[in-house]
Amino acid sequence: NKELTVAIDGPAGAGKSTVAKIVADKLEYIYIDTGAMYRALTLKALQEDIDLTNKADLVKIAQQAKISFSKNNKQERILLDQQDVTSQIRTKRVNNHVSLVAKVAGVRKELVKAQRKLATCCGVVMDGRDIGTVVLPNADVKIFLTASVEERTTRRFQQLKDKGVNVNFAELKEEIIKRDQLDRNREVGPLQKADDAVEIDTTDLDKKDVINKIISICQEV
């Protein structure tokens, strides 16, 4: 059995990371959450009080930051300069600023380089916005996961509620729409379906069905 490279892209809240993690577990591949990397950089920029319109400073941060992943009790953790920032990268503040950092070409250049390196070792499932188009254009399997904005907001809302975080539904929806818009319309590495990606609309699908569908696509390769 050849170890595959699986790219999963799509808009915010489409369920990419949930699905990608389970697919990776089932295939015994590593899972790489590239959104977490952009989030970690954004956190660092905010912590260091960097002006987010200052591209040169953002690129400097991207060059200096040490981002790595580790697994603890089966939980994915992300480390920024040796500190565990797994929960800190999920705040509203990071949500609202990450697309500004992610649109800077020099920042993307650094992270794309790091992401390609992470994918060279073994079977890998990587999720993000530009994996099938830019990071791993030769991926064996490319999936583009979508769902209606309403459904994506509902899922995020529920996820947060389960964690004990109360948010306003309408605000959350606006946040998601705005982030998608920025991600779709940027010049470098925009959110876009690769020509050879399989699009799966998950609006009316069970998580299990989505996972099985992706696994069966992998088995056909």
Residue stretches of the annotated binding site for ATP:
10-18
- Interface with ligand C5P, residue 38, by CB under 6 A: yes
Q: How far apart (Å, rounded) are the C-alpha atoms in residues 150 and 113? A: 34
- Interface with ligand C5P, residue 35, by CB under 6 A: yes
- Interface with ligand C5P, residue 156, by CB under 6 A: no
- Interface with ligand C5P, residue 99, by CB under 6 A: yes
Which residue ranges are tagged as binding site?
A: 10-18
**Of 40 and 211, which CB lies nearer to ligand C5P in the complex structure?**
40
Distances (CA, A) of 142 to 17, 19, 203: 14, 14, 19
Sheet bearing 141-146, strands edge to edge: 30-33, 124-128, 5-9, 141-146, 198-201
Segment near ligand C5P (CB under 6 A); pick from 22-30, 47-55, 97-105, 116-124: 97-105
**Which residues touch 149 (CB under 8 Å, ≥6 apart)?**
173, 176, 177
Phi, psi for 134 (deg, rounded to 5): -120, -50
- Interface with ligand C5P, residue 98, by CB under 6 A: yes
Question: Where along the sequence are the contacts to ligand C5P (CB under 6 A)?
Answer: 12, 34-35, 38-39, 98-99, 102, 128-131, 179, 183
